[in-house]
Amino acid sequence: MILKEITIRVMKMRMKKPFTTSFGTFQDKDFLLLEVKDELGNTGWGESVAFESPWYSEETLGTNLHIIEEFLIPIVLGKEIGHPDEISELFTAIRKNNMAKSTVEGAVWDLYAKRNKMTLTQALGGERDKIEVGISIGIQENVADLVETVSGFIKEGYKRIKVKIKPGYDVEVIRELRKNFPQVPLMADANSAYTLEDVELLKQLDEFNLTMIEQPLASDDIIDHAVLQKQLKTPICLDESIHSLEDTRKAIELGSTQIINIKIGRVGGLTEAKKIHDYCMEHRIPVWCGGMLESGIGRAHNVALTTLPNFILPGDTAGSSRYWKEDVITPEVVTEDGYITVPNAFGIGYEPDLATIDKFTVEEMHYQVE
């Protein structure tokens, strides 16, 4: 297939509710959508999961736009591509900027699947027709609010509860949750809010039978996490620290992580995500699919990825209505009793809703070859 046209849209969508992590609160989601068209008029869609500001990683909407326009589009526009795995190879001359790369690569995967009349799930080699869904809950005003929120999500059937923690909002919060929900699969995500000086505090979490603690230490660390894991019973799961198969191999060899959160954008695309999945499966490390508060386009990619066999823990990919009043795809992603049914339409399996997309488009750029 020949990549003839690329359109980038700068999007602005307001989430139903603000989301608070150890870094702060936000509600407006600014992100990029990218559409690629081949010589036959087939299209594919990708989403940049970079946030407007660099709190989660160094990438932002602005850096993604810059890298995509100035470096990635010149590499792929007009190119003949046999398989989407070729995209990451073409991008090896560009260091890092994984979320930017993933935006383009994701669109090419969707295009490839549609052109070959298969679902993205089939193109990836996925197996499931439904996936298990957990929920990630931001930091709440007080513990009573949190207990009520969690109770609601358990009633809705979510298969696992994840709560954000930060210093001063950790052990007592988890204690209270465990008291109220003794059986529920529960985990905590620190988004790098702790250091090795907090070992004694983190050890107190061991008594609550958490499925895992996600990214307790620095976002660029895999050394201290190994030191911490030796002192914790609770399995550590790395999120921010893992950008590639190589990071995965090193973290597993060092004993820094027992579970991996795979985010397509953070690792540079579906091809690398699949490699990490396969490596973890060989090494008996369970994986799950993380979330970046995606719109329907990115969410659809997550659903397809989660159908691979080693995604044995519930992911953060909840249904559209958890985040959005109106999503940019039809139908929306729907969670029912803690499951999402994997769509069987070709490509990402959900139709981009152009009217809604237009409504939330702030700026649009178009590139094409003659």
Q: Which residues bind Mg ion (CB under 5 A)?
A: 189, 214, 239
Residues 201, 182 contacting (CB under 8 angstroms): no
Q: Structure tokens of 328?
A: 């940019």
Measure CA 57 to chain center: 13
Q: Structure tokens of 274?
A: 């699949």
Q: Other C-beta atoms within 10 Å of 286: how many?
A: 17
- The least distance separating Mg ion from the CB of residue 238, rounded to whole angstroms, comes to 9
4 annotated active-site = no
Residue 135 dihedral angles phi and psi, to the nearest 5° = -130, 140
Dist. CA 70–CA 91, nearest whole Å: 13
- The least distance separating ligand OSB from the CB of residue 159, rounded to whole angstroms, comes to 14
Place of tokens 């893992």: 242
Kindly list the residues in this chain that would bind ligand OSB in the complex (CB under 6 A). 56, 136, 189, 191, 239, 290-293, 316, 318
Identity of the residue, 191 or 356, whose beta carbon is nearer to Mg ion in the bound complex? 191
- The least distance separating Mg ion from the CB of residue 55, rounded to whole angstroms, comes to 12
Question: Which letter does DSSP use for residue 142 in this model?
Answer: S
Residues 10, 361 contacting (CB under 8 angstroms): yes
37 annotated active-site = no
Alpha-carbon torsion, ordered 271, 277, 283, 288, to 10 deg: 160
Looking at residue 345, its amino acid is A
Identity of the residue, 24 or 74, whose beta carbon is nearer to ligand OSB in the bound complex? 24
Catalytic residue among 263, 275, 325, 359: 263
Across 22-149, the runs of DSSP E, i.e. the strands, are: 24-38, 43-48, 130-132, 135-137
DSSP letters for 160-195: -EEEE-BTTBSHHHHHHHHHH-SSS-EEEE-TT---
DSSP letters for 253-267: HHT--SEEEE-TTTT
Place of tokens 């940019």: 328
Catalytic residue among 29, 159, 164, 274: 164
327 interacts with, out of Mg ion, ligand OSB, none, CB within 5 to 8 A per kind: none
Identity of the residue, 110 or 294, whose beta carbon is nearer to Mg ion in the bound complex? 294
Q: Which residues contact 244 (CB under 8 A, 6 or more apart)?
A: 267, 268, 272, 276
Identity of the residue, 173 or 329, whose beta carbon is nearer to Mg ion in the bound complex? 173
In the chain, % helix, strand, coil (3-state, to 5) comes to 35, 25, 40
| Maximum pairwise Cα distance, the chain | 65
Any idea which residues carry the catalytic annotation?
164, 263
